[in-house]
Amino acid sequence: MYAESIRRVFRSLSPRKFSPHVGQEEQLTYPSQTAAPSREPSSPAQSQSCVEAACEQYSRYIDRLSTRAAQAAHVQPDTPEEKKSESPPPTFHSPANRLNRRAVRDVTLLFDNLDQCDLSKENALPPLNGMLEENIPPPQQLTTLSIESTTKSSCDQTLDELPPMHVDVDPCVHYYHFVPIGKGGSGSVYFAQSKADRKQYALKKVSPTTPAKSRALENEIRTMHALKHDNIVQGYGAYSHHSNVWIVMEAMDIGCLTHVLDFLRDKSYLLSENHIAYILRETLKGLWAMHSRHCMHRDIKSDNVLVSSDGDVKLGDFEYTAELTAKSPKRRTVVGTAWWMAPETVRSSFYDYGADVWSIGILSIECAEWVPPLFGMDTTEAMQVIREGVQTQGFKRPDIWSPQFADFVRGCLVRDRDERYCVQDLLKHPFLDKACSKAQMANVFRAVRGMPPL
C-alpha cells in the first residue's frame, strides 16, 4: 500500500522510530484489562457474570467520559427523567449533539495515538480516517451553496491515496536545470525541467529530522495529491534520496503573494479593491474545495498563496492540514503562524473551519496594507493580544476602504466563532463582485518579475 510504503521511507529518514504522538490534549486513563481467564471450563452462570462485569466496567467508563465532557462544556449531565423525554434526534451540527461529539473526542484520541505508532502488521489498527470515512454527510453549512468553478475533478479521492513515491532515486534522473527560487523554515524550493515532457515543475527539498516532521511531510504530499482543484497547487510525486525528500509540485512562476506585496510596498503602491477582491475570491474557492472535503488548512497567509504570470491564485503548503470527521469534528492543537491565528486556536480551545475564515480576514488586511495587523510584535506578544482580545485587529486607515470591504473583513474577524462568517457567506459577499479580470490581475503579477503585460 502507498501509505505503508511512505511510512517506511519516513522512518528510514528519521533518527529514531515513530513514537505515539502526545499533543496538548489531556491524556485519559483507559479501562485496564481484566485478569486472564481460567483455562478450566466455566459454567453458563459464570460466563454470564463475566459478561455483566465487563459491560458494567465499560458503562462506568462511558459515564466518566460524558461527565468530563459536560464539565468542559459547563453543562450538567442529563438526569434519567430528562433522558426519557421525547425529542427529535439531533442533527450533526445541532447544539444537542455537541456534548456527544466532545465525549467521543477522547476515544478518538486513543485511535489517533495508536495509528501513529510503529505497530507490527498483525497488531496494527486500520487507519482512523478509513474507519470513519464511510457514510459521513458533509457539514450542513457546506451543502447550501453551488459554486461555478473550473474544478479539475470531483475531488472524490481520499486522503489515504498517495502519488508515486520514488525511493532511493535521485530526482536529477528525471529533472534537470535546477534553479533555486526560495528557502523557508520547511525547506528549499527549486524550479526544474522535466526530461520527459520538457515542462517546468517546482521541487521542494525537505530534510525531516523528527517523526513529527515526517508526519507533516506525509500529510502535505497526501493532501496535494488528493485535492484536485484549479485553486490548489497540485502535487505529482515525491523522491527520497539520501536524507532528503523532494516533492514534485505544480510550478507557479511568480511565487508567493508575499513577493507581490513586498514589491508593492517597496514602490509605495497599494492594491486596489478590485485586485484584492480577485485574490480573495480565488483563495476562497481553493479553501472551499478543502472544506467540502472536510479539510482545514490551518496556515492561511500570503506566504502560502501562490500566484502565476497568467493570473492564477492557488493555495499551497499543506503541512498543517487536518481532516475533520463526524467523530472528530474539531481540533485543539496550536499550529499555524501567530499573526494569522484565530483566538480559539491561540487559546488551545476546540476549533473548526472558522479558524481558516479568521485567517482569511487577516489575509484581507495584509493585501490592503502589505503586512498583517500586530506584525510589529513578536510571536509571544501577538499571541497574547489575540488570546485576550485587548486590541481590535482592523485597518490602520479604515477611511480609505469601502463599506463593503470593511464588512467583509469584520465578518471574518468576529471573536465569537458562531457569529463569524463561513466560506459560503464570503463567496456570496457583494465585495467579491468588485473582482477585476484575470488579465488585469496577471499584469500586476507580471510587473513583479519585470515581465511585459498581457
Answer for the pair 317, 346: CB distance below 8 angstroms, yes or no: no
On whether residue 135 sits in a domain, the answer given is no
Q: Is the pLDDT of residue 225 over 80?
A: yes
Residue 247 has pLDDT above 50, yes or no: yes
pLDDT score at 220: 86
Residue 241, strand partner residues: 244
The predicted model scores a pTM of 0.65
Secondary element (H or E) of residue 235: strand 235-241
Quickly state the pLDDT bin for 127 (edges 50, 70, 90): very low
Asked if residues 203 and 192 have their Cβ atoms less than 8 Å apart, the reply is yes
Domains identified in the chain, total number:
3
Listed residues 250, 281, 308: the one ending a domain = 250
Is residue 316 domain-shared with residue 410, that is, in the same domain?
A: yes
DSSP 380-434: HHHHHHHHHT-S----SSGGGS-HHHHHHHHHHS-SSGGGS--HHHHHT-GGGGG
pLDDT above 70 for 42: no
**The domain that contains 259 carries what CATH number?**
1.10.510.10
Cell numbers standing for residue 10: 519516513
Predicted pLDDT of residue 95? 38
Residue 361 lies in a domain: yes
Same structural domain for residues 388 and 274? Answer: yes
Which of 59-63, 186-190, 295-299 has the lowest average pLDDT? 59-63
pLDDT digits (tens, 9 = 90+) for 305-347: 999 999 999 999 888 888 888 888 889 888 889 999 999 999 9
For residue 307, the SS3 value is strand
Q: Across residues 98-116, what is the average pLDDT?
A: 36
For residue 299, is pLDDT > 70?
Answer: yes
pLDDT, residue 383, reads 92
Residue 411 in contact with residue 421, Cβ under 8 Å?
yes
Q: Which of 253, 299, 303, 312 is catalytic?
A: 299
Q: What is the pLDDT of residues 191-224, one digit of tens each?
A: 999 999 999 999 999 998 888 888 888 888 888 8
Checking if the pLDDT of 148 tops 60, the result is no
Per-residue pLDDT at 88 exceeds 90: no
Q: Indicate if 257 and 235 belong to the same structural domain.
A: no
Known binding residues are 213
3-state secondary structure of 305: strand
pLDDT of res. 7: 47
| Banded model confidence at residue 163, pLDDT cuts 50, 70, 90 | low
Beta bridge partners of 214: none
pLDDT of residue 62: 54
In a domain, 351, yes or no: yes
Same domain, 240 and 287: no
Residue 415 has a pLDDT of: 93
User: Where is mean pLDDT largest: 62-71, 161-170, 309-318?
Assistant: 309-318
Cβ(274)–Cβ(439) below 8 Å: no
Average pLDDT over all residues of the chain:
74
The amino acid that residue 130 corresponds to is G
Q: How far is CA 324 from the centre of its chain?
A: 9
Q: Of 281, 217, 246, which is closest to residue 429 (Cα–Cα)?
A: 281
- Which pLDDT value is given to residue 90? 40
C-alpha cell at 190: 527549486
pLDDT at residue 329 in the model = 87
Q: What is the pLDDT of residue 109?
A: 36
Give the residue among 106, 100, 109, 105 at the shortest CA–CA distance from 77: 100
The pLDDT of residue 22 is above 50? no
Q: What is the CATH number of the domain that holds 195?
A: 3.30.200.20
Q: Are residues 316 and 442 in the same domain?
A: yes
306 within domain boundaries: yes
- The pLDDT value given to residue 142: 29
Active site residue 160: no
Last residue of a domain, one of 235, 250, 265: 250
The residue-averaged pLDDT of 291-313 equals 95
At 43-56, the pLDDT tens digits run 555 545 554 555 55
| Residue 29 φ then ψ, to 5° | -100, 115
User: How many alpha carbons lie under 13 Å from residue 304 in its C-beta half-sphere?
Assistant: 25
Q: Are residues 265 and 282 in the same domain?
A: yes
Which amino acids are annotated as binding site for ATP, given as ranges? Answer: 213
Q: CA-based angle 184:189:193, to the nearest 5?
A: 175
pLDDT for res 251: 94
Question: Above 90 in pLDDT, residue 277?
Answer: yes
Residue of higher predicted confidence among 254 and 62? 254
Instruction: Compute the distance between CA of residue 369 and CA of residue 265 in angstroms, rounded to an integer.
Output: 9
Q: pLDDT at position 28, please?
A: 36
